[in-house]
Structure 1
Amino acid sequence: MGVRTWIEGWPVYRQLTGTDPLGRGHAARSARTDALEPRTKAADSVARSVCPYCAVGCGQRVFVKDGKVVQIEGDPDSPISRGRLCPKGSASKSLVTSDRRQRTVLYRRPYGTDWEELDLDTAMEMIADRVVKARADTWEDKDDDGRPLNRTLGISSLGGATLDNEENYLIKKLFTAMGAIQIENQARI
């Protein structure tokens, strides 16, 4: 590369000698900049979603190519976030596509030292049996003065912020119907 080619390729030279003296247009562009394409250009489809991390409900656009998520961005049509996402929301693609994401049910037996894989049906049955037993063992019909309580202190819930508002609402209803009174959510803490 000659000196003249190098100087003409220098943005300051183009700014001073060209039609862009403020360096906000063509003078600031390079061949690399001109070759850039949006990460979403190759997507087959776009799905609208809601960020899973907190109770705000920021809108997201999920770009999909060949059945796989290739990018997640803020939805400019969302009245809540107007296309903006916080750092956790901006990184939500890794929540879906990370190779470190757990995809099987793991169980460690009491006093065990190793995890074992369980099928989902077995795990759900174990959870249901334990919830029913805990409720039956700790159910309180009345207090010492005979006033009705209809509650259990043996079950509590701490919901995660990766659930959306609707899921958290249904969980709250479920635990309240079971008689639990200790119900909280990570997004409120």
Structure 2
Amino acid sequence: MGISPLQWPVLRQLRSGDRLGRGPAITSPTTRGLTSRNATADRVVQSVCPYCAVGCGQRVYVKDERVTQIEGDPDSPISRGRLCPKGSASEQLVNAPGRQMHVLYRAPRATEWQRLDRDEAIDMIAKRFVESRRNTWQELDDKGRRLRRTMGIASLGGATLDNEENYLIKKLFTAAGAIQIENQARI
């Protein structure tokens, strides 16, 4: 069965007023029936991209308490609605099927990972941090000059942390006497 002559593209252009054939005259019924996945969102939350220090604005679309899409925020004075490829894919940070949702620990020489309670993991890290600082503390050098540092603790920050988190990490490690503090964004 053929298409009705009234549905021929040239006639659709004339009937719809789309003389150049760039609008409704060339839109198929299937396309007209589609809606954006953003149109069904329950709410839109403004956020900032977590990847680098630029701070591009994002619009996070949420439906049923689940992130469905992330786009650039046109109201952002920094990015004016644009996102780099990493920022555009940041929805995967929360929705990737391989995302780790639990603390995993592999003991020395073990071959398997085991699940740890978050508080237990934090206590374990804090204990090791303090112990390493205590065991590697250098108060004075060979000539008696004050050092007040440790070479047993280092920090390598990442761009998925925001500026405030990296600032606090830098303050913490400096206060603990660590001097080997770096961030992936500078490397």
TM over 0.5: yes
RMSD: 2.0
Decide whether aligned partners of structure 1 residues 121 and 144 sit closer, same or farther in structure 2, where only a CA change above 3 A counts.
Answer: same
Distance 2:147 2:10 in 1: 78
Distance 1:117 1:157 in 2: 24
Give, in angstroms, the shift of residue 86 of structure 1: 0.9
- Provide structure 2 residue ranges, at least 5 long, that are not aligned to the other structure: none
**Aligned twin of 2:63:** 65
Amino acid at match of 1:159: G
**Aligned twin of 1:137:** 135
SS for the counterpart of 1:162 is coil
Distance 1:43 1:17 in 2: 35
Query: What percentage of aligned pairs have identical amino acids?
Result: 67
1:4-58 per-residue CA deviation (whole Å, 9 max, x = no partner) reads: 53x7656477558974343222233221221121211122222111111111111
**Aligned twin of 2:151:** 153
SS for the counterpart of 1:70 is strand
**Aligned twin of 2:77:** 79
Length, aligned pairs only: 187
Distance 2:13 2:147 in 1: 78
SS for the counterpart of 2:133 is helix
- Aligned match of 2:90 in 89, 92, 114? 92
SS for the counterpart of 1:72 is strand
Decide whether aligned partners of structure 1 residues 17 and 35 sit closer, same or farther in structure 2, where only a CA change above 3 A counts.
Answer: closer
Amino acid at match of 1:46: V
Distance 1:119 1:13 in 2: 68
- Provide structure 1 residue ranges, at least 5 long, that are not aligned to the other structure: none
Decide whether aligned partners of structure 1 residues 180 and 36 sit closer, same or farther in structure 2, where only a CA change above 3 A counts.
Answer: same
1:85-114 per-residue CA deviation (whole Å, 9 max, x = no partner) reads: 111111111111122110111111111111
Decide whether aligned partners of structure 1 residues 53 and 8 sit closer, same or farther in structure 2, where only a CA change above 3 A counts.
Answer: farther
Distance 1:8 1:114 in 2: 68
Distance 1:16 1:169 in 2: 62
SS for the counterpart of 1:76 is coil
Could you state the TM-score of these two structures normalised by the residue count of structure 1? Answer: 0.90
Amino acid at match of 2:75: D
Give, in angstroms, the shift of residue 61 of structure 1: 1.1
Amino acid at match of 1:156: A
